[in-house]
Structure formats: structure tokens, C-alpha cells
Structure 1
């Protein structure tokens, strides 16, 4: 279990992020077309998991925009933005914003939050995902993690992107 804050108030998550050097837990997430995205779909390329509570909050929206801009210049790197939002919300946001360099996946019918230790178990965001970044190499090994201590803060984009080098 990890403790993060929201506007300074502490809340618990279901566990801890996968350890650097470990194999990432397999997952199934729902894409905007309602098909399923799996970890295996991304094998052979590096993968940035940009995880957050909801696309309909300013910090979460900013993280999608920043990773969308950053990944455009990178080779053999995918970004998968993960939240418990319904796929329709992600499709609406990405369409309105012209986001086309990242994928989105909804955890609304999966165990992703538990498997990655990120589901809030207490507080007003219980059931949603804590803000985090997990970077995987082309074989699915965890090479970087960050669980953002204050939910309203942005992740360390520079450190996440540097781990891809």
C-alpha cells in the first residue's frame, strides 16, 4: 500500500508500483473503439504508461498533451494513457484536442489498478487510478516508475523520457 495526497490530504492506494527490473504485469484495457489493448500488443517497442485519475481534470489533460508532443519525435516508443474513464471520454478528449500520437486505455473493466498497485482505496477518488508513469523496455521489463506524491501535480516528464534513452 502506498500513500499519496490530494491537496495535502493523505489517501491510500492498493499497493505499490512494479519494481524497476521486474516484468510488467499483463493487462487488458478498453480502447476508444471498444476493442481490447494488451501488454502483448506493445511488445517490440518501448512503452510509456501515463496513468491518471480522469481525463476531465486539468493535470491529467496536460499529461496527455505533453506526452503526445514528446512521443512524436521518438522512434519505437508508444504511449498508452490509462484511466478508469469510459473509452468515450478519452475519444472525446483526444478528438477535440487533436491528440494522435498516444493511445488510450480504460481500466473500467479490468484489474489494472490492482495489478499495478494504483487504485485508490480511500478518499474521494476511491476506485480511480493514482497518477503515475511506468516505462517499459521493448520486452516488457519495467525501466522507470514514478507514483506522483501529490495527485494534483504533474509527473516528471523529463525523467520518464530520459529513461527511454
Structure 2
């Protein structure tokens, strides 16, 4: 199990962590319009799943923008940002930042994504900063769980993994 900290404090991660080479588990999250979204909604597409503790903070905002700027033009790919923020807060952030085509999904309701991917920080009920790249058949080709929650992920490695499939 990966050990993470948040602002230097050790966090307990809930769920089984997803491994490269396995088929990604399904999940059930909410879109900004409160509709339910699952992995099947992105069937046949390469996916970069960017996971942030809270979208309306500095590092999380940068992560969301960076992945969308660097990966959204990749053929047959979708960039998905998942957090425990309420769908309304995610929509407000997107509108306030002029990002109309960003896919933000909320795991607030039942932590389905976070527990399925092993990234729920139990002490905070937030998701640990992480990145998952899946091919069009949902095979996991890249994972990163950032050891310190206030640090940035390795943007270049994640985008390169998406480009390579």
C-alpha cells in the first residue's frame, strides 16, 4: 500500500489500489448536472483520470488546467477530473476559470471511485492526489499516487503514457 501525507500528516488510504496491467474497476460518480456517470460512459476512449483533493485550490486548479491543456488534443482521449467536491462547486470552478469542455466528476456521494481505486484519505474524506491512465479497453497503463498531497503529479509521464497507447 502506498503511504501518503497531506501537509506532512500521514494519511490512511481506503480501498485496494489499482495496479498497472489490470483492468480498471468501474465506479459511480456524479456529473455537474447530478447525472450518474460510470466508466462505461467513456467506453472506447483512452482516459487520463486526474484525481484532486479539492478543485478550487492552487495545486488542484493547476493540475486540472495542465492536464486539460496538454492531453485534451490527443486523438480518442478524454481527460476526467475527479474530486469529492460537490458537483455545483465543480461547475462553478469551471465557469469561473473559462473551461467549458473540462469533464469534472464528483465522488462526494459514496466515494465509489476513491474506494475502488484505493485513494480515499480516511482522515479527511478527500481523494489523494493521483493519476490513472487507461487504454480504450480500460486496461491500466499508468498510475501515480503522489506521496505528498500538496505536491504536483508528474505531468509529463502521465501525458506520455496517454500518448503511447
Does the alignment reach a TM-score above 0.5? yes
Structure-1 separation of matches of 2:100 and 2:54: 18
Contact 2:53–2:127 (Cα < 8 Å) also in 1: yes
Q: What displacement does 1:11 show?
A: 1.5
Paired residues in the alignment total 162
Which 5+ residue runs of structure 1 have no aligned equivalent? none
Structure-2 separation of matches of 1:156 and 1:51: 13
**Partner of residue 149, structure 1:** 147
Q: What displacement does 1:75 show?
A: 1.1
Structure-1 separation of matches of 2:113 and 2:65: 23
- TM-score for the superposition, normalised by structure 1: 0.93
Q: Let me know the Cα RMSD of the aligned residues.
A: 1.3
Contact 1:84–1:108 (Cα < 8 Å) also in 2: yes
- TM-score for the superposition, normalised by structure 2: 0.93
- Structure 1: which 4+ aligned runs deviate by more than 6 Å? none
Contact 2:31–2:87 (Cα < 8 Å) also in 1: yes
User: Do structure 1's residue 2 and structure 2's residue 6 form an aligned pair?
Assistant: no
Contact 2:15–2:114 (Cα < 8 Å) also in 1: no
Q: What displacement does 1:70 show?
A: 1.2
